[in-house]
Structure formats: structure tokens, C-alpha cells
Chain A
Amino acid sequence: MKKFLSFLYIALILAFIYIPIIILVVYSFNKGKTIGIWEGFSLKWYEKLTDIKNVLFNTITLAVVSSLIATVLGTLGAIGIFYNKKKTGKFIKGLSQIPIVNSEVVTACALVLLFIIFRLPHRHIVWLYIGHIILTTPFVVLSVMPKLKQMDGSLYEAALDLGATPTQALFKVVLPEIMPGVFSGFMLAITLSLDDYIVTATLSPLDFDTVSTAVYKAIALTTETASQRVPTYRALTTIIFLLTVAIVVIINVKPNKRRKANENR
């Protein structure tokens, strides 16, 4: 009975989370525009995704490029912080926490002030990239740090003793060791960048839309032209949802097996 109740509770909360998404998925194949009125199966909203290919291109380019820069900056930063046992390391680590805990509005608006005081043009694509790098780099540092701590410190001492130059030791010994952290940092940076609305809305050029800002215009401002796109965004949600599920399944099939093996031991 207790088990049944627990299961029921979990099922209820999962229903709360998934029902809106599933309804959206179902009605993305609807001929009509309105949710709740089924007018027959159609793929026309998926064909209309070509209308927003600009938005998709902007979103993906922004996410990939800013995450790549964030990953390089954050990985170097993490290595530097890790070997700086003194105040400098702690100071940079503390600074690195600020964008994580600070609200995005404040981060974004503080940047606007920076551009104002240097009389730089407000709303420029470069500021947008900088904003995203600020948001995501601390998370790269956070995911690289544990890997540095786990690493065997004597490894590159050995590399040096065997005649490697510092740069070689860094690239051939340290980097491969922390690679899983670097990779998960990169993935995290991408998801954060894809999810961002506030920084993008505050810093991007006015004619530059990402998925977040475009959908915001459709559902919050409900301007006429933007609202027309809502069914197309349903199709987009469906694709993102299915992709996510596929990725989660692929990533977890292996570790899950390992987990099971561990449990049986």
C-alpha cells in the first residue's frame, strides 16, 4: 500500500511535468492552429520550421561559439586557479561564483553600464557573445575543478622528468586527464546558452532573435505576427524533446549497465 502510494505520487508529479509537453507534441501534428480542436494529421508545421531557420541558426551559432570560447577560458582558468594555492586563486574562484548566484538581469544590465561608460554602441552582437561567455564560463570551471582534484599530481611531474616541456605536459598529460570534465562543462555551457533569455534580450541587436526571444514575443507580447508562429514552435518543441530523450537514452545506456553490475556485486 505504501509502495503504491509512493508510486502514485511520483506518477502524479511526472504527469504534471510531462502532460503539457505531450499535449504540445500531439497537437504539433494537428492541421489546425488551436490546441484542443483536432482537425486531422498534418506535417505542415514541421515544413514551416524553414520560416524560423534564421532564429535556429542564430541560437545554435551563439550557443556553440560562446560555449567553445567559454570552455577554453574556463579550462585554462580552472587549471590556473587549481595551482594558485594562494590568495589570487581564491580571489578568482570567488569572482567566478558571482555570475552563478547573481540574477541574470543584474549581470546583463551591469554590462550595459560598462558599454555606456566607454561610450560603446549599446546592443551589439559582440556584447551578446560576451554576455553568454560570462554566464557559462563559471560552470565550465565548476565541472573541470573536480577532475583536477581527482588527478594524480605526480603524473606530469613524471612527464617533466621524462623530458616533456611544460606545454607538452599540459597538453599530453593534464588535458587528457581532465577531458571528461571539460566535455561536460562544454555541454553544460551549451544548454545554459540555449536556455538563456534575459541576457540575450538585453544585449542582442534588436533584429536578432534566438529561440527564447522569438518564443517570448509569441507567448508574452502576443504580437500578431509572432503569435502566428506558435504552432511552428510546437513542432520545434517536439523535435527538441525527442532529441533530448534520444541523447539521454544513448548517454545513459552504458553507465546504467555499469551501475547494475556494481549493484549486483
Chain B
Amino acid sequence: MKDVNAVEKKNAASRRRFGFSRQSLCIPYGVFLLFFVLFPLLLVAYYAFTSADGTFTFANFADFFADKTKVSTLLISIIVCILVTALCLVIAYPVAYILAKMKKSVAFIFLMLFITPMWINFVLRAMAMKELLSLIGIPLGNFANIIGLVYDFLPFMVLPLYSTLIKMDKSLAEAAADLGAGKVKVFTSITLPLSMPGVISGAMMVFLPVMSCYVITDTFSGATGFSVVGKLISWCFLGENGTLSNINGGATIALVLLVIMFLTMWLTGGFKDEDGARGTNL
């Protein structure tokens, strides 16, 4: 009897020890995140509100909003993001819808066809599109920019839409049809509202990255096309040849971008980890 007690005590002790050691496993990652993610973001805020000599000021923001080219780049970025997201959505939704109605084994093959290009380096994909455009004679500029952005981000939209549509309870749509709803009505009042989570997570995967994706706009804009706000930030930090030219100004724009990001997150209800990116949970 005493023996059993001793064993149980030992087990409880080791369980406690084990419990503790299991929990402490997140310490390295936690410290890493605090030091390399949270602290630098606080630094962004600090630099945005200080001048080059370290005194508190709002001048950086005043400078930013007084600079017409910077403000217009920001506004154009937002408009372009909305446009590209909408285009990707309009193109990808029917794809996901058709795939969701297919036999699963066939749909899987098509899905693979859609996401395979994501594993090719995106700069190389941009190069492929640029060469095609020059081959068929579309000049660099705003239009080419939009094509380049849609081309790059389209695959990211298909997957979240498909995974929401496939999980949807099909009996609801059938019930609506049985109750006399027309095809359009079934789509607008059943399918579309139910697929909103997929729409939102797909849009998030396009909207925010487009803001900072200056590689594409640098490639396709030529001399006349627009640029995105990410370019402004990298200009301040990289300048022409890798020098730090205007840290405080750059931090200011970065803070504006952070605020936009948090606003989008707040408006859309945030990022859901189960949606996954790039077919994590395929």
C-alpha cells in the first residue's frame, strides 16, 4: 500500500515537473518574439514621433501629409489594393465555385494546377509575365502593373475560397431551391453569405501584401506607372544604394501602414489560423 502511494507521489511530482518543462518550452520563442518582433515595432513608433536628434515631435507626420507625392502614393496604393483584391476575387470566386462542385478527385487535380505556380519564386513569375507582355506588345505602365499584381496574387485567392465552399452545408442551398428560390437568389442569399469567411481570408492574403509589394510595381511600372507605399518605406531605409537616408520619415510611413493593417484586421475580424496560407492544411 505504501509502495503504491510512493509511486503515485513520484508520478505526480514528475507530472508537475513535466507540466512545467512543457510550458517552459515556449520561453525561447517568446523571448525571440519579444526582442525581434514586439520591441522593433515599439521602436517604429518611437522613431515616428521623434526628430533626428531624438526630441519628441509631430513634424514627421506633418512632413508626410504635406508631401503631395507621398500622400498620393499612399492613396493610390489603397485604391490599387482594393482594385487588385476585387479583381482577384472576381476571377477566383467562379474558379473555386466550379471546383467545389466537381468530383473531389478531379477538383483536387485542378486545385493542384492552381497552386503549383506558387512554389516558383515570385520574382521569376513576375519576369515570366513581363516577358509575355513585351512579347504581345503591352507597354509597361499602370495597366501592366495591375496585370502583374493580379498574376502574382491570384493563386492565393483560390485556396481559401475553395476550402470554405467545400465545407459549406449543401442542403441549405437545396432547401432554398426547393422553397422556390431561383438560382441567382440561392447564390446571393445562401452561397455568397456562407462563403464570406473564405472571401475575407482570401482578401487579406491579397490586400495587405499588395501594399508593400514594390517588386512587382518596380518591374511593371516602367517610367509612367504607379508605385506602392512599401516603396516609400524602403526608399527611406535603403535610399539609392543601401544607405539609411531618412529613418524617422521611414518609421512614420511604416507606422501609417501598421495602423492601416490593424484597421483592416479589426474591420474584418482578424486572421484565422485555421484558414492557413499556401495550402498548409491541404
Q: Which A positions have Cβ atoms within 8 angstroms of B?
A: 6, 9-10, 13-14, 16-21, 23-24, 27, 35-36, 73-74, 76-81, 83-84, 88-89, 91-92, 95-114, 116-117, 122-123, 130, 133-134, 137, 139, 141-143, 145-146, 156-157, 160-161, 165-167, 169-170, 184, 188, 191-192, 194-195, 197-198, 201-202, 206, 211-212, 215-216, 218-221, 230, 233, 236-237, 240-241, 244-245, 247-248, 252, 256, 259-260, 263
The reply to whether B126 and A219 form a contact with Cβ atoms under 8 Å apart is yes
Contacts of A100 in B (CB 8 A): 271, 277
Bound-state Cα–Cα, A98 to B37, Å: 8
Bound-state Cα–Cα, A250 to B63, Å: 55
The reply to whether B121 and A211 form a contact with Cβ atoms under 8 Å apart is yes
Selected from B104, B121, B278, the residue in CB contact (under 8 A) with A215 is: B121
Contacts of A27 in B (CB 8 A): 131
Contacts of A216 in B (CB 8 A): 123, 215, 218-219
The reply to whether A105 and B120 form a contact with Cβ atoms under 8 Å apart is no
Q: Check A206/B242 contact, CB under 8 A, given A73-B28, A110-B41, A194-B121.
A: yes
Q: Which residue of A lies closest to B244 (CB)?
A: A122
Quick check: is B61 within 8 A (CB to CB) of the other chain? no
Bound-state Cα–Cα, A122 to B245, Å: 13
Contacts of A146 in B (CB 8 A): 274, 281
Q: Check A20/B251 contact, CB under 8 A, given A76-B28, A202-B237.
A: no
Contacts of A109 in B (CB 8 A): 44, 233-234, 236-237, 250-251, 254
Q: Check A106/B219 contact, CB under 8 A, given A20-B131, A89-B26, A165-B14.
A: no
Q: How far is the CB of A201 from chain B (nearest CB, A)?
A: 7
The reply to whether A81 and B26 form a contact with Cβ atoms under 8 Å apart is yes
Contacts of B241 in A (CB 8 A): 206
The reply to whether B18 and A191 form a contact with Cβ atoms under 8 Å apart is no
Q: How far is the CB of B9 from chain A (nearest CB, A)?
A: 13
Bound-state Cα–Cα, A215 to B101, Å: 39
The reply to whether A80 and B27 form a contact with Cβ atoms under 8 Å apart is yes
Would you list 23 pairs from A and B whose C-beta atoms are within 8 A, ordered by A residue? A21-B128, A74-B29, A80-B29, A80-B30, A88-B30, A89-B26, A98-B41, A102-B261, A106-B233, A106-B257, A107-B40, A160-B11, A160-B14, A161-B11, A195-B122, A198-B215, A211-B121, A215-B127, A219-B130, A220-B215, A252-B108, A259-B105, A260-B105
Q: Check A252/B112 contact, CB under 8 A, given A77-B25, A202-B237.
A: yes
Closest 5 CB pairs of A and B: A80-B26, A77-B29, A110-B40, A103-B212, A80-B25
Contacts of A84 in B (CB 8 A): 23, 26
Q: Which of B140-154 contact A (CB under 8 A)?
A: 151, 154
Bound-state Cα–Cα, A191 to B44, Å: 28
Q: Check A23/B215 contact, CB under 8 A, given A111-B36, A113-B247, A165-B14.
A: no
The reply to whether A220 and B36 form a contact with Cβ atoms under 8 Å apart is no
Quick check: is B1 within 8 A (CB to CB) of the other chain? no
Q: How far is the CB of A14 from chain B (nearest CB, A)?
A: 6
The reply to whether A198 and B234 form a contact with Cβ atoms under 8 Å apart is yes
Bound-state Cα–Cα, A24 to B133, Å: 12
Selected from A134, A139, A141, the residue in CB contact (under 8 A) with B36 is: A134
1/0 per position for B1-25, CB-CB distance to A under 8 A? 0000000000100110111011111
Other A-B pairs beyond A80-B29, A113-B43, A130-B36, 15, CB < 8 Å: A9-B95, A35-B135, A80-B25, A81-B26, A88-B30, A101-B261, A101-B265, A101-B271, A105-B233, A109-B250, A139-B277, A161-B11, A197-B215, A212-B123, A263-B103
Binds A, one of B167-175, B192-200, B203-211: B203-211
Bound-state Cα–Cα, A20 to B247, Å: 39
Q: Which residue of A lies closest to B117 (CB)?
A: A17
The reply to whether A76 and B25 form a contact with Cβ atoms under 8 Å apart is yes
Q: Check A198/B212 contact, CB under 8 A, given A110-B43, A188-B278, A211-B124.
A: yes
